[in-house]
Amino acid sequence: MFESTFADASRRDWADDGTDATVRIATVGCGNYARSVSLPAMERGEYAAPTVVVSGDADKRATLADEFGVTALDYDEYEAGAATDEYDAVYVATPNRLHLPHVETAASHGKHVICEKPLEATVDRAERLVAACDDAGVRLMTAYRMQTDPVVRRLREFVAAGGIGDVQRAVGDFTFPVLGGDAGPDQWRLDGRLAGGGALYDVGVYPLNTARFLAGDDPVAVSATTRSPDPAFEEVDQHVDFGVEFDGWVGNFSASFSGHPNTSLELLGSDGRVAVRSAFQPGADREVTVETPTGTLDLTGAGADETVEEFDYFAHAVATDAGVDPDGADGLVDMRTLAAAQESAASGRRVEL
């Protein structure tokens, strides 16, 4: 089974080689991630192309217009419908609580949407966001880039085919020192209203969603604890540990906004395990280990840049009128799970979904 599943770890299982259409994308919100990761990924892609950027910062607009050769708008111009003939879809990368109005604007212009995760700062607002796209008849993709990583997709195939037997448990961590480097406490990730949550919402969603994707399952209950010993994290969780119950198996996940950087995920089954190091960093070389009774497979440097894959997957789906997965419903499952984790941490009780 190793050979058949992992023979071509970088294979695009969604691509139609006969399609050469390019989908033009407007990027709404030009923070560091959008500027340094997302826009370059679109530019390197086969089906996606950045053509418009939207920012409230005039200097950013001028710099990005020059660097990427795009039209630059402020938020008022975007809402008013300026340059709608220059883009086919919208990538929303603003702080969580601002996703809803920017997605509503895109939907009102009849544009398809790829929205960063988590979908919003609260479940209610996320539901309204999904409804806005449904009502307008536009596609909505939740930007779970790990689901488009070819290596992760091969692991999902392997697990689905019974490669590790029945899934028993998942263990995952994402530690991101949010105050590292030049970053200070004056940032939206530490603003409870804008972010909705701290490490749980920003990085805890990665091991949760990726484990769900690999196992093809949804949570049924959550138990969680949070800690914020540093006063800088007064409004959000600095550390979180959350146990997630599924139908027949459990997940134990952690996320932190301080500490040595780490990203890892492991699925243990009745007959084997899969483990991924460097699991969630953009463009990282995944270190994958697959163990079964018949042997062990180690993969390093396999796959592709999953951010390029993410935007090309979305653009290809738009261009070919194909379905999008992960969609808004997938994003809502995680929103409800994250909210339940917050409720559990506050109450000290297990919360059913």
Residue 156 vs residues 12, 159, 160, 215, 274: alpha-carbon distances, Å: 14, 5, 6, 7, 10
Residues 73, 202, single domain; the answer is no
The pLDDT value given to residue 3: 66
In a domain, 282, yes or no: yes
pLDDT digits 0-9 by tens, 321-333:
999 999 999 999 9
Q: Which of 145, 171, 187 is the last residue of a domain?
A: 145
pLDDT digits 0-9 by tens, 246-272:
999 999 999 999 999 999 999 999 999
The pLDDT value given to residue 2: 67
Total Cβ atoms within 10 A of residue 182: 5
Residues 262, 183, single domain; the answer is yes
Question: What CATH number did the domain enclosing 212 receive?
Answer: 3.30.360.10
pTM for this entry: 0.96
The pLDDT value given to residue 11: 87
CA distance 325 to 304: 19
121 CB-near residues (< 8 Å, 6+ apart)? 96, 97, 193, 194, 195, 196, 197, 201
Residues 141, 217, single domain; the answer is no
Q: Which of 105, 129, 145 is the last residue of a domain?
A: 145
In a domain, 4, yes or no: no
Residues 94, 216, single domain; the answer is no
In a domain, 317, yes or no: no
The pLDDT value given to residue 326: 97
In a domain, 177, yes or no: yes
Residues 293, 157, single domain; the answer is yes
Question: What CATH number did the domain enclosing 18 receive?
Answer: 3.40.50.720
In a domain, 310, yes or no: no
Residues 136, 174, single domain; the answer is no
| Total domain count, the chain | 2
275-279, long-range: CB within 8 Å, 24+ apart, which pairs? 276/151, 276/152, 276/155, 279/146, 279/172, 279/174, 279/206, 279/207, 279/210
Residues 50, 191, single domain; the answer is no
Residue numbers of the chain with a pLDDT score lower than 50: none
- C-beta of residue 71 within 8 angstroms of C-beta of residue 7: no
The helix, strand and coil proportions of the chain, stated in percent and rounded to the nearest 5, come to 40, 25, 35
Residues 281, 175, single domain; the answer is yes
The pLDDT value given to residue 75: 98
Residues 85, 162, single domain; the answer is no
DSSP code string of 265-303? EEEEETTEEEEEES-SSTT--EEEEEEETTEEEEEEEES
53 CB-near residues (< 8 Å, 6+ apart)? 26, 27, 30, 39, 60, 61, 64, 65, 68, 70, 71, 72, 73
Give the residue numbers spanning the domain of 260. Answer: 147-305+325-352
CA distance 240 to 253: 8
The pLDDT value given to residue 1: 67
Residues 122, 240, single domain; the answer is no
Q: Which of 129, 145, 161 is the last residue of a domain?
A: 145
The pLDDT value given to residue 181: 81
Residues 290, 337, single domain; the answer is yes
In a domain, 1, yes or no: no
Residues 203, 116, single domain; the answer is no
